[in-house]
Amino acid sequence: MPSPFPGMDPYLEHPSRWSEVHSRLISAIANGLEKQLSDAYFISVEKRVYQLTSDDAVLIGIPDTTLSTFSRAATASPREDGIISESTTIATLEPKADYSTVTLPIPMEVRESYLEVRDIETGDVITAIELLSPVNKRTGEGRRTYEFKRQAILGSQTHFIEIDLLRAGSPMAMRETIAPTDYRLLVSRANDRPLAQLYGFNIEQPIPMIPIPLKIGEQDLELNLKALLDEIYAQARYARRIDYQSIPVPPLRDMSQAWADDRIQAYNFP
């Protein structure tokens, strides 16, 4: 069954859930576009690697590192033959110094998937498709790495699609000051740069169809994100797993929350 919302479901943005949504949606986008592609193209699923601390990982929905503990064997213990071992301490020990237990930031490797439409003969990247994650929109290594790659694409002959279905964090840079919206879809055609198409929409609105450009002169593909989101929503049984009586993370604006409550109340959950 589809989500209660006509566009993006804000409950899918929860940090504990987004990593799964991201993985499922990347696969669904690849499969959906492959059905439209001619034999001249193929879709490559690529991965980007970030080095994060465990604190950062928790904030973007990756479970914290579990540390194993160990205990030292006592150094002063009689041997089975009754002879005192050399490590036995006879003298009275000095009092132990006071100390505090602290938690250190543990480095973690995080892998993030993105898509590339490639020419099957040359392997050239025709169109790059990015689905943003919290790590891309927060200050830190993840954003710096992503912005470096973004600038490289924008300076190339590769078309660029950027899908931002997250309300939290800072939107990606552009020259103009644009009215804020909950979500953004960016279509940057290599032959039109520096101009690009920005589709902004809010929680109350449907998700626009996204044109996926190919080689100059060829017809665009169409990406129906809403249909794919509803598909993975049903596959993952989110209607039964999500607590729609809770407040979304991040919280909605007051008017949007009232609108969302009405949608949820009228929805026939399983």
Tell me: the pLDDT tens digits for 112-160? 889 999 999 999 999 999 999 998 998 888 888 899 999 999 999 999 9
Q: Is the pLDDT of residue 178 over 80?
A: yes
Domain-located, residue 166: yes
- Residue 237 maps to a domain: yes
Q: Say yes or no to pLDDT of 240 above 70.
A: yes
Question: How far is Cα 253 from Cα 196, in angstroms, rounded to an integer?
Answer: 28
Task: Decide if 110 is inside a domain.
Answer: yes
Decide if 78 is inside a domain: no
| pLDDT of the residue at 103 | 76
Q: Which residue has the tokens 């000095």?
A: 94
Q: Residue 263 corresponds to which tokens in the numbers above?
A: 């949608």
Q: Using DSSP, state whether 135 is helix, strand or coil.
A: helix
Q: Which two tokens stand for residue 179?
A: 């009215």
Mean pLDDT of the residues in the chain: 85
**Domain that residue 200 falls in:** 10-62+105-266
Asked whether residue 222 carries a pLDDT value surpassing 60, the answer given is yes
pLDDT digits (tens, 9 = 90+) for 65-98: 233 333 334 434 444 444 444 444 455 666 678 8
Q: Is residue 96 part of a domain?
A: no
Kindly state whether residue 52 falls inside one of the protein's structural domains.
yes
**89 contacts: CB under 8 Å, gap ≥ 6:** 75, 76
Which residue would you say has higher pLDDT here, 198 or 62? 198
Structural domain count of the chain: 1
Determine the average pLDDT of the residues in 25-53: 88
Average pLDDT over residues 102-106: 75
